[in-house]
Structure 1
Amino acid sequence: MYVIGIDIGTTNVKVCLFQLPDFELVDLYRFSTPTKWDNNDSKFEMEKIWNGVKKGLHFLSNKIDNPSELKSISIASAAQSIVLLDEQDQIIEPTITWFDPRSKSEAELINNIVGQQSLYAITGIVSHSNHSLTKLLWIKNKFPERYAKLKKWTCLSGFLAFKLSGKYATDVSLASRTLLLDLSSQKWSTEMIEYFDLNTQTFPQLVESGASLSVISKTIASEIGLNPSINIAIAGHDHMAGSICTNLAVDNELLNSTGTTEGLLLLKNKPFLNSKFQEYAISNGLYVKDNLFSLYGSMPTAGHSLNWFTKNFLASFAELVELSNTIYQDYQKNSKELIKNLLLFIPHLRGSGPPYRDSSSRGLLYGLQDNTDNKSMLFAVLAGLCFELRTLKDAYTEFTDQPIRSMKVIGPATLNPLWLQLKADILNCEILSYKTDEAVARGAGILAAIKQGYIDKLPVNSYDRYLPSQENKNLFNEYYQQIYMPLSKIKREFDLIKFSDS
């Protein structure tokens, strides 16, 4: 028996074939996420994404001897971006990328009309240019003639599900990232719809994450070469889907999902809609299973910082891996010397995330000398990512009054022992590294298999454990308190002056 999990990521799209019951990765089809840039503006090229996914499905269909053994296709995607369609189901451009800041003024407008506290009480999130409503309003304001043709919209994974099944929907985890869902009722907010004069007929149906939306359309099944009885499902928010691979527990475990961005996910039995969480821009949401709520914060750059460093200072990714391994060996032998000479790196290459969210924030590398080399800079980049993550973890533990027992890591960071040990030492937390092939796509497949009755329990996943060193923890804590946080505070004040729109 087989399932296919699809991961529509910011950088890459992965179409993956897994075999049950262990969800072993049989094969995958990967391609760079088609994205078009115009100066700082960016948009996803959805028809190219759809065509790439079709090629991937066709490729994987040839890996199965008996087509009836493929039971489900489940789709997870990056949150916030939405696809608009007209009456002929043609895409209304642009499909603005989630990280594109062009809708900043719409985000401010939402705050002014609804009020920050009222907005957070309804949706559980703080208005930001990342969110779907701001993209929708931007198109409404800038291209009213295009907006007038709008008949339906949905999230990225919902768009692919629509193309595969003809049913137009979104799952609850992605809906809770739009700024349009009433978190308490778990329905589209009538207040938000009335505030912005939106047409409810254009809204997608809300469906359960991973549950069967429909079987694949006969036309598409015939075109791709698939069995027409395959179930199509929306697995939802990519980081949430990926967490399924770790069997994340409620309250005292964090998921650290790494990729282009880096997310920190905490599961709770209730939302936290008070002013402290609002002040620090921590997002509430709906989880993909067990009727749980999520607390989620995302750093706009994680893997992106490493890509930036590789592109500008190294010859290849292979050199990055080699250099990381060399530093790891040095760190095991003499960590004190490395920490003593640590440069300060604040990874705001695409602005900052919570708890001090600011899309205008800029990155900072401090402490350069004439003998600074690539090794020192890479160590600073990895440490800086961990310090940034600590600020978010500290906010979670302080405001929920709940100690964190362990942090479960998925994604590219699991292949970098130095990064993992730095997470343990800087965050003072047990790190469980799940070296899971294609965690998001795999989680999407597992979620669908559970919800659709093909398995009755999660598969067992192995992990590597990293524990904090008492000496390193103390040294990093001193650095964090005396250097990182004071300079971060100064930089936040400087950002407001130098980089304000005024």
Structure 2
Amino acid sequence: MDFCLIGIDVGTTSTKATLIDQNGVQLASFSRPHPTSRLTPGMAEQDPQDWMDGVLGALGQFSGAVDPARVLGIGLTSQVNSHVFVDGRGEALRAGITWQDTRAAGDAAKLDAQVTAEQKTAWFGGPVPIDASHALSRMAFVARTEPENWAATRHVLLPKDFVALKLTGAVSSDPVASVGLVNASGTYVGELLDLLPGSAERLPPLFPFHHIAGRVRAGLPFAGLPVTVGAMDAWAGMFGCGVVEDGDAMYQSGTSEIPGVISSKVVPTPGVILFPPYEGMRMHAAPTQSGGAALAWLSSLLGRNPQELSDLAGNCVPSADLPYFLPHLAGERAPIWDSASRGTFARLDANAGPAQVSRSVMEGVAFSVRWAFETLSNSAGRKIESANIGGGGSRSDVWCQIRADVLGMELRRTVVPDAAPLGAAILAGVGSGAFEALAPAVRQLVRFERTFEPDVRLAALYAERFELFQSLYETLKPFNALF
């Protein structure tokens, strides 16, 4: 059977999309950046119209690249925890608050103090934190600071759900993307929502990933085509990385790094996000705050593009004398969940030029992920020795090898660079009936092109540097607490 599928990802820095055929071959791709507003400390907002401009741009491009009759469906994914407050007409009342925004930290602390670790474990299977990006924290923040907008809010939606609403007119979401709000059975935790009056009625109804939210409205490209509810970027990217069975591990590299593992065994572990089971899959994830964002920052600082920095780092020999870099440019998420932490270089000397600093940044990001993977191993009750890697940050051979060496893990890289939109397209394939189930769709549509093996000669060096990396964070905690 000859058919095509579309996957769209509203990411942190851009809207990306892929058009694939029935074998997973990418026929066309699309990417359009969207800006983030950071006018005040902790602020990170985006205009939802920028997301829609990207989505419609992708659909317009793809409609000219292939016969629309060949396309069976559209799948969606997006950044989380990012939130749009919309009124009864489906119009955004304010800019979208992205996951990087930390202004709700005080609201989060007050909410978290009202919930015990035992309650969290009963609801979610582990002590999932209520942090500044939690949906309830965001709603509390808007209710406190913008009471008029809160009163006018009919729905609080994720970016992918906002896109589905605009494309089809339907309001929907999925239980997995509602992490921290739903229990193991995939329903909202009423006892938690009671902490903020008015929150429950503003949340969307929940459906499976492959559920058809609606069909594209008349007058838009691909009018009448079914649009699936879709999944959050971590899960869509997981499928796009070929991870679908117990024991499979992923490493998604984008603006942030998202390591995760599927494991039916659960050992409650602080710092890990434990998602509700979905079709027998239990994903343990530990998303960091800064991955590609750290390299983008350095790129801007040095006036060189990321590829140039990667080349420089590749010419720099691993050494105990290299500077250390703590990539907490906007706080840190897993596994320490410390929004007050900030980035730093340590042990800089006169020998540190662009090459040394570039490698230090790449190593620092990899050390953050090593910390996350060690925590995930505890949570999943298993040693993680290999992972499938995808995402824009995985395209650098140099960085992939640094990651493999720092982690001491084998990394298998996908052919299609953008794992999240590929995963969204896979969900469109299941929702449209092209595939009977998720696992066979993943196995047919995801392909790999290279494996990076860790250099065992560097194991001792990186074990020592990792310990010092952790010590650097602990040493700076009192300093960061002053601000």
TM over 0.5: yes
Looking at structure 1, the residues matched to 261 and 36 of structure 2 have their Cα atoms a distance apart, in angstroms, of: 31
Give the aligned residue type for 1:175: S
Query: Post-superposition shift, 1:313?
Result: 1.7
- Correspondent of 1:487 among 460, 472, 479: 472
Give 2:308's aligned residue. 319
Instruction: Assess if the C-alpha contact under 8 Å between 1:250 and 1:269 holds in 2.
Output: no
Looking at structure 1, the residues matched to 264 and 396 of structure 2 have their Cα atoms a distance apart, in angstroms, of: 33
Give 2:434's aligned residue. 454
Query: Post-superposition shift, 1:227?
Result: 4.1
Give 1:103's aligned residue. 104
Per-residue CA deviations over 1:432-453 (Å, capped at 9, x if unaligned) read 1223232211111012213432
Query: Post-superposition shift, 1:90?
Result: 2.0
Give 1:150's aligned residue. 153
Give 1:5's aligned residue. 7
Give 1:423's aligned residue. 403
SS at match of 1:174: coil
Task: Say if 1:152 and 1:414 are closer, same or farther in 2 by CA, change over 3 A.
Answer: closer
Looking at structure 2, the residues matched to 68 and 189 of structure 1 have their Cα atoms a distance apart, in angstroms, of: 42
SS at match of 1:122: helix
SS at match of 1:196: coil
Q: Which runs of 5+ in 1 are unaligned?
A: 332-337
Instruction: Assess if the C-alpha contact under 8 Å between 2:240 and 2:421 holds in 1.
Output: no
- Correspondent of 1:282 among 240, 257, 272: 272
Give 2:113's aligned residue. 112
Per-residue CA deviations over 1:20-62 (Å, capped at 9, x if unaligned) read x112222233211243332232322012321332232122112
Task: Say if 1:139 and 1:13 are closer, same or farther in 2 by CA, change over 3 A.
Answer: same
Query: Post-superposition shift, 1:174?
Result: 0.9
Task: Say if 1:419 and 1:225 are closer, same or farther in 2 by CA, change over 3 A.
Answer: closer
Give the aligned residue type for 1:356: I
- Correspondent of 1:170 among 169, 173, 181: 173
Give the aligned residue type for 2:208: E
Give 1:473's aligned residue. 459
Query: Post-superposition shift, 1:231?
Result: 0.9
Give the aligned residue type for 2:77: A
Looking at structure 1, the residues matched to 243 and 88 of structure 2 have their Cα atoms a distance apart, in angstroms, of: 41
Looking at structure 1, the residues matched to 415 and 167 of structure 2 have their Cα atoms a distance apart, in angstroms, of: 30
Which structure 2 residues correspond to residues 367-406 of structure 1 after superposition, within 5 A? 367-406=347-386
Per-residue CA deviations over 1:213-254 (Å, capped at 9, x if unaligned) read 22223x3xxx224242x1111221112101213332545332
Which structure 2 residues correspond to residues 10-409 of structure 1 after superposition, within 5 A? 10-19=12-21, 21-40=22-41, 41-65=43-67, 67-123=68-124, 124=126, 125-176=128-179, 179-181=180-182, 183-198=183-198, 200-217=200-217, 219=218, 223-228=219-224, 230-248=225-243, 250-269=245-264, 272=267, 274=268, 277-278=269-270, 281-286=271-276, 290-327=279-316, 331=317, 338-409=318-389
Give the aligned residue type for 1:93: R
Looking at structure 2, the residues matched to 48 and 245 of structure 1 have their Cα atoms a distance apart, in angstroms, of: 25
Instruction: Assess if the C-alpha contact under 8 Å between 2:260 and 2:373 holds in 1.
Output: no
Give 2:417's aligned residue. 437
Task: Say if 1:286 and 1:451 are closer, same or farther in 2 by CA, change over 3 A.
Answer: farther
Looking at structure 2, the residues matched to 120 and 60 of structure 1 have their Cα atoms a distance apart, in angstroms, of: 45
Task: Say if 1:316 and 1:429 are closer, same or farther in 2 by CA, change over 3 A.
Answer: closer
Instruction: Assess if the C-alpha contact under 8 Å between 1:429 and 1:468 holds in 2.
Output: yes
Give 1:335's aligned residue. none
Task: Say if 1:119 and 1:37 are closer, same or farther in 2 by CA, change over 3 A.
Answer: same
Query: Post-superposition shift, 1:184?
Result: 2.1
Query: Post-superposition shift, 1:180?
Result: 2.1
Identify the structure with the greater helix proportion: 1
Query: Post-superposition shift, 1:169?
Result: 0.6
Query: How many positions carry a matched residue from both structures?
Result: 472
Per-residue CA deviations over 1:391-436 (Å, capped at 9, x if unaligned) read 1111222344311131211113332222222222221111212232
| Range moving further from structure 2, 71-80 or 143-152 | 143-152
Give the aligned residue type for 1:194: D
SS at match of 1:392: helix
Task: Say if 1:237 and 1:438 are closer, same or farther in 2 by CA, change over 3 A.
Answer: same
Task: Say if 1:225 and 1:311 are closer, same or farther in 2 by CA, change over 3 A.
Answer: closer
TM-score, length-normalised on structure 2? 0.92
Looking at structure 1, the residues matched to 378 and 89 of structure 2 have their Cα atoms a distance apart, in angstroms, of: 51
Per-residue CA deviations over 1:318-375 (Å, capped at 9, x if unaligned) read 4224324434xxx4xxxxxx32322111111111222222111011211111222111
Looking at structure 1, the residues matched to 202 and 477 of structure 2 have their Cα atoms a distance apart, in angstroms, of: 40
Q: Which runs of 5+ in 2 are unaligned?
A: none
Instruction: Assess if the C-alpha contact under 8 Å between 1:256 and 1:263 holds in 2.
Output: yes
Give the aligned residue type for 1:193: L
Task: Say if 1:377 and 1:205 are closer, same or farther in 2 by CA, change over 3 A.
Answer: same
Instruction: Assess if the C-alpha contact under 8 Å between 2:243 and 2:249 holds in 1.
Output: yes
| Range moving further from structure 2, 3-12 or 445-454 | 445-454
Task: Say if 1:393 and 1:315 are closer, same or farther in 2 by CA, change over 3 A.
Answer: closer
Instruction: Assess if the C-alpha contact under 8 Å between 1:70 and 1:227 holds in 2.
Output: no
Instruction: Assess if the C-alpha contact under 8 Å between 1:250 and 1:266 holds in 2.
Output: no
Give the aligned residue type for 2:355: K
| Range moving further from structure 2, 82-91 or 163-172 | 82-91
Query: Post-superposition shift, 1:487?
Result: 2.5
Give 1:334's aligned residue. none
SS at match of 1:4: strand
Give the aligned residue type for 2:212: S
Instruction: Assess if the C-alpha contact under 8 Å between 2:36 and 2:44 holds in 1.
Output: yes
Per-residue CA deviations over 1:140-159 (Å, capped at 9, x if unaligned) read 11111221112222211011
TM-score, length-normalised on structure 1? 0.89
